[in-house]
Structure 1
Amino acid sequence: MNASSPCLSTSDLRAAVARLPRFPLGHFPTPLERADRFSKTLGGPDIYIKRDDCTGLAFGGNKTRHNEFLIADALQQGADIIVWGAGVQSNNCRQTAAACAKAGLDIHLVLGRGGPAKGPDVVQGNLLLDHLVGAHVDIVNATIGVDLDDHIAAEAARHAANGRKVYSWDRHRVKPLAAVSYALCVAEIVEQSRAEGWTPDAIYVSSAGSTGSGVVLGQLALGLSCPVRHISPIKWPWDTQEDMAQIADAAGKLIGLDLGVRREHIDISFDYIGPGYGSLSGSGCEAIALLARTEGILLDPSYTGKAMAGLIDDVRQGRRKPGEKVVFIHTGGTPALFAYAEGLVEKIAPRRLER
């Protein structure tokens, strides 16, 4: 089978995924919600929002899907603790910590305060939730990447030396496993849109890793003709397109599919990152305010706000046309809003009604 061939029905895809162990965490399928007022305000395509902010675990988000497979893998390996880390306001860490609480696993989070996502160690937003769900949290002076990875590896080794069974967070295994979950998200989109009598003309998602790779896996496995547009929140030092293609291809092999995913299957933009990863951008803040004030749906500053800025810009530049049906996958992250409160208020003027 090659990547350009129509392959599976949604039921066939679900059956292929069912060969993998899975630990139930989320509320699925998540809603696919038409954003009428938002679409009319932009004057472009009909925009539908796939509400993965409503996955149900500790404020939800995309990592709930990921963790159904990762937690199952950890339990199958006999692990009793996960050692993981990212930035202080990591959505990933918050959802993984909540998943560990539900599965009865200990979790040690090593959070880096350095880099472009730096901020005070205020117990707010995702960091507050990390503590509430019982994570052991260490905050270190390290940037996301090799520096922080070294701290995480050191803590994992220390726990192992003390007799703990540490889940090996090997990216070559974890990334494809996580990606499989988003093939199922695409299956949901296909089924939900079909039930309403339409098909997507494009899918937008905030990703530079497993989530987007999983969407491409679903796109290719189901033979969808619509493009997938990835809006990246970060510029990695490696070739992101090649990395995502490799993740998608490896994920396919986990469920018995040889798709031959290549770099050219990944359409990704780095134009909406703003000053840096985890920083507020003007266009991202505009997107947050516009969706909130037309639909009452909240985006986050680091990921979905910037991804929606990319979709808005594509509409304004005529790359997405009136009459099209566009799906935006809302990957969550809303708890981070509270940690960015001061900056958001500066960039998004509060409304004032005439008296």
Structure 2
Amino acid sequence: MNLAKIARRRYTVGATPLEFLPNLSRELGGPRIHIKRDDLLGLTSGGNKTRKLEFLMADALARGADTIITTGAVQSNHCRLTLSAAVKEGLKCRLLIEERVEGSYNEEASGNNFLFRLLGAESITPVPGGTDLMTRMETMAQEVIAEGGRPYIVPGGGSNALGALGYVACAEEILTQSFDAGLDIDHVVCASGSGGTHAGLLAGFYGNQSGIPLTGISVRGAKGPQEAKIHGLAQQTLALAGAQLQIPVELSVVRDDFVGPGYSLPTKEMTEAIKLFARTEGILLDPVYTGKTAAGLVGMIQEGSFEKDSDVLFVHTGGSPALYAYPNESLG
């Protein structure tokens, strides 16, 4: 694989830290837990979408776009960071917000919704859950064209093959850091939502023949369809990166038993995981993605999925601004 052949913007200086979490490891009685701090990526308040946007925004600029169109749920980290990247590149941005939980959109809400307004989104359009989002974004693009503009559509979560290259790059970064630290990673745990992060890591680890097992904790989709989506996207991403390899389907592993009643809806395990990370390591998680992913990590440890003396890496994909819109769910 040679990512240098693909146009890329850079929004982060250097690599994000890979840290050992001694207090959390001790609290849970092993394994040794490490964390990849992608909450510290560049752009407004950081998070995993920044890596994807480095490739997507380079493509938008190469195509001469002047207006970015994207979509996400209420409190979307992806929308926040896409808007931030557009601001940085001097482009306009229009947001399509899907109300996946009926009645959940509040124009005056804190968290990411506040940042949408602060960063100056050209428009924010809420639509009901289940809306055909791509068709609606294509309509928005035609409106931009009719106004004399040049639109570029970024898919939800930045999760196409081009965006997922950001997490091929992250996998390579993790391998370099672990080699430099003399750290033999036994397992990696990440969030599995729109799929770009999970699929990119899968493609990156497999394409570099690392042999590191990867488990995605679903925040929305059921295990079977989510595993199929991740495998397909990882295969497309690997091909785009220039690797002529076939990823075994059994390497796409998703746990869907920590979703709870639905996307963004609180669970007791999520609340406890957020408090645990905050009170042992001073690390903030969010209720929608990383909180449930951490709940999955803790659950896997409690059920004995890892050896006590193994080294497990938790990929922190950011999202802490959403904490301020869910204070009760976050603190219990």
1:137 paired to 2:127:
no
Equivalent residue number for residue 325 of structure 1: 311
Match of 2:216 among 230, 244, 250: 230
Counterpart Cα distance in 1 of 2:223 and 2:304: 31
**What are the superposed Cα offsets for residues 226-276 of structure 1, whole Å, 9 maximum, x if unpaired?**
210100111169822222111111111112112212432201011111111
State how 1:196-207 maps to structure 2 within 5 Å: 196-207=181-192
Moved more, 52-61 or 129-138: 129-138
Equivalent residue number for residue 154 of structure 1: 139
Matched letter for residue 317 of structure 1: E
Unaligned runs of 5+ in 2: none
Maintained 8 Å contact 1:190/1:199: no
**What are the superposed Cα offsets for residues 80-115 of structure 1, whole Å, 9 maximum, x if unpaired?**
111112112000000000001111111001212343
Maintained 8 Å contact 1:232/1:273: yes
Equivalent residue number for residue 169 of structure 2: 184
Unaligned runs of 5+ in 1: 1-12, 348-355
Maintained 8 Å contact 1:246/1:261: no
Structure-2 change in CA distance of 1:117 and 1:22 (3 Å): farther
- CA drift of 1:186 comes to 1.3
Maintained 8 Å contact 1:27/1:54: no
Maintained 8 Å contact 2:223/2:255: no
- CA drift of 1:79 comes to 0.8
**What are the superposed Cα offsets for residues 101-152 of structure 1, whole Å, 9 maximum, x if unpaired?**
1111110012123436924333311111112222123242411x44444433
Structure-2 change in CA distance of 1:285 and 1:38 (3 Å): same
Equivalent residue number for residue 330 of structure 2: 344
Structure-2 change in CA distance of 1:41 and 1:103 (3 Å): same
Counterpart Cα distance in 2 of 1:326 and 1:131: 38
Equivalent residue number for residue 8 of structure 1: none
Match of 1:94 among 58, 80, 88: 80
Counterpart Cα distance in 1 of 2:42 and 2:204: 22
Structure-2 change in CA distance of 1:114 and 1:137 (3 Å): farther
Structure-2 change in CA distance of 1:174 and 1:53 (3 Å): closer
State how 1:166-185 maps to structure 2 within 5 Å: 166-169=151-154, 175-185=160-170
SS at match of 2:314: strand
Structure-2 change in CA distance of 1:170 and 1:110 (3 Å): closer
Matched letter for residue 64 of structure 1: T
- CA drift of 1:45 comes to 0.6
Maintained 8 Å contact 2:165/2:237: yes
Counterpart Cα distance in 2 of 1:61 and 1:154: 29
Equivalent residue number for residue 36 of structure 1: 22
Maintained 8 Å contact 2:215/2:253: yes
Matched letter for residue 19 of structure 1: K
Please report the TM-score for the alignment, with normalisation by the length of structure 1. Answer: 0.88
Equivalent residue number for residue 80 of structure 1: 66
Equivalent residue number for residue 7 of structure 1: none
Match of 1:297 among 274, 279, 283: 283
Counterpart Cα distance in 2 of 1:267 and 1:81: 36
Moved more, 330-339 or 77-86: 77-86
Q: What is the RMSD computed on CA atoms of the aligned residues?
A: 1.9
Please report the TM-score for the alignment, with normalisation by the length of structure 2. Answer: 0.94
Fraction of identical pairs, as percent: 37
Maintained 8 Å contact 1:205/1:231: yes
Maintained 8 Å contact 2:204/2:238: no
Counterpart Cα distance in 2 of 1:117 and 1:290: 30
Structure-2 change in CA distance of 1:267 and 1:237 (3 Å): closer
Matched letter for residue 63 of structure 2: Q
Maintained 8 Å contact 2:52/2:164: yes
Maintained 8 Å contact 1:79/1:165: yes
Counterpart Cα distance in 1 of 2:14 and 2:248: 30
SS at match of 2:43: coil
1:243 paired to 2:229:
yes
Would you say how many aligned residue pairs link Structure 1 and Structure 2? 330
Counterpart Cα distance in 1 of 2:105 and 2:7: 38
